[in-house]
Structure 1
Amino acid sequence: MRHDLIIFDNDGVLVDSEPISNRLLAAYLTELGHPTSYEESIRDYMGSAMHRIHDLVLERTGRRLPEDFDDVFHARVFAAFERELKPVPGADDVLEKLAADGVPYCVASSGSHERIRVGHRTTGLDRWFAAERLFSSQDVGRGKPAPDLFLYAAERMGVAPERCAVVEDSPLGVQAAVAAGMHVYGFTAMTSAERLTGANQLISSMGELADLLV
């Protein structure tokens, strides 16, 4: 199927950051008195904007996270990225093929602009993404599962939502893309197919995606 715009989620789709960030998130929440396992972090927070983590903890415990939670967490994550972060296998090849074929693409991530840039710089993917191709939940009022971020990215890129395809690996992201009226490729590298209900097609590797898109 030919699309006029490919919108990539970032964490877990382009950069292999989810194992790192969820390990650190579980450890930090536990340190603050909110016992959380790695598996629970993946289940509850993968694909979330930071405000959703605050909201869920407050809802469940009646306690607010510290005011400097985001800054401390991001500092830990960025330090770990510098040591450990790798691109998702095949991501570079997909982007190279899209660029060569003249297919427009961008990123729409729950992560901050700084997180996106640090991840891309560390993995070398920054060569594919000028600033005008990067969109963050910081740019809109509501993060995923609301459709706002995907609709904003499509508008800024000048493409109608129904002509867009989204590559997502989180249930929240799939919900957001479906709500935006976009075609959804569910990436099952870290998330079971059962949790990506609503995706139009499931893929297990970036190589598989390259064959579908180009």
Structure 2
Amino acid sequence: MPDRPALVVFDCDGVLVDTEGPQAVVLAAVLAEHGAPVTPADVLGRYKGFALEAIEEDLDARAGVVLPASWQQEFRDRRGPAFERDGIPAIPGVRDVVEALVAAGIPYGVASQGRLDKTAMTLRLSGLADLFPEAVRFSADQVERPKPAPDLFLLAARTLGGPPSGTVVVEDSVPGVTAARAAGMRILGHAADEDPEDLRAAGAEPFAAMADLPTLLGL
């Protein structure tokens, strides 16, 4: 059994909450309206785990699509009502994992590419807000560089008191895994909706379901 970590840091979308599909629908619609003919499947296949700024840069470089300055706010304005209308479920088994960390006295947090207000909304809608108070929530908006840079995970570890070498990150995207590896952290790759070999190649130890996580964490 592996040693217990000093700290566990979760990504949010696709790890704690099931937002990837609904978010892709809204994002694809906004991008298409501004001349980028992408589908929700394209968004999930190419842009999962990307910051919005990185998506904008990629579309410009790859397809010559220049998005207006307003597009990110348009996306956020439409995403929130869609989430409120349709609901956001928690990833099955997440609550059990977090409660096991609490019982073991292991600190934990969430570090998301998304803004803090978006993380707050999805945690509330999924029924997980009580497990992740504001003090353990971190956003790429708080650091100079988003994932795949290590800044966000290093901020979370520094704030929560976990040395990078003793921190485990739970991620489901290649940019997130790349960021955690650059931070010198162990990565467990949630592969329920992701190719496990892509996560492994990026530096993660893939696992299929949250029920597997306590054992992987030495709990």
Q: TM-score range by the shorter chain?
A: over 0.9
Structure-to-structure mapping, 1:106-117, within 5 angstroms? 106-117=109-120
Question: What is the match of residue 17 of structure 2?
Answer: 15
Give 1:95 shift.
Answer: 1.1
Match of residue 32 from structure 1: 34
Map of 2:154 onto structure 1: 151
Per the alignment, residue 79 of structure 2 pairs with: 77
Corresponding residue for 2:98?
95
Moved over 6 A (4+): none
Output aligned runs, 1:64-213, within 5 Å.
64-82=66-84, 83-196=86-199, 197-213=201-217
Partner of 2:57: 55
Bigger shift: 76-85 or 14-23? 76-85
Alpha-carbon shift at residue 39 of structure 1 (Å) = 2.1
Once the two structures are TM-superposed, the CA of residue 43 in structure 1 deviates from its matched residue by: 2.1
Q: Considering only aligned residues, what root-mean-square deviation do their CA atoms show, in Å?
A: 1.3
What is the TM-score with the length of structure 2 in the denominator? 0.93
Q: Distance in 2 between matches of 1:145 and 1:30?
A: 26
Could you tell me whether the CA contact under 8 Å between 2:189 and 2:207 is conserved in 1?
yes
Q: Equivalents in 2 of 1:114, 1:65: separation in Å?
A: 23
Return the offset for 1:124.
1.2
| Pairwise CA distance, 1:64 | 2.7
Instruction: Measure, in 2, the Cα distance between the counterparts of 1:75 and 1:209.
Output: 35
Instruction: Tell me how far apart the structure 2 counterparts of residues 7 and 113 of structure 1 sit (CA, whole Å).
Output: 15
Q: Which residue identity does 2:194 align to in structure 1?
A: T
> Which runs of 5 or more residues in structure 2 are unaligned?
none
If the length of structure 1 is used for normalisation, what is the TM-score?
A: 0.95
Count matched residues. Answer: 214
Quick one: distance in 2 between partners of 1:181 and 1:110?
A: 19
Q: Percent identity?
A: 40
- Whichever residue aligns with residue 6 of structure 2, its letter is D
Letter in 2 for 1:191: E
SS of 2:109's equivalent in the other structure is strand
Deviations 1:40-85 (A, max 9, x none): 2112211112211221122223343122212211122111211231
Aligned-partner residue type, residue 209 of structure 1: L
Q: Which letter does structure 2 place at the counterpart of 1:164? A: T
Q: Aligned equivalents of 1:6 and 1:45: distance in 2?
A: 25
Hey, what's the Cα distance between the residues in 2 that align with 1:171 and 1:108? Answer: 15
Name the stretch that deviates more: 17-26 or 56-65. Answer: 56-65
Q: Distance in 2 between matches of 1:208 and 1:44?
A: 27
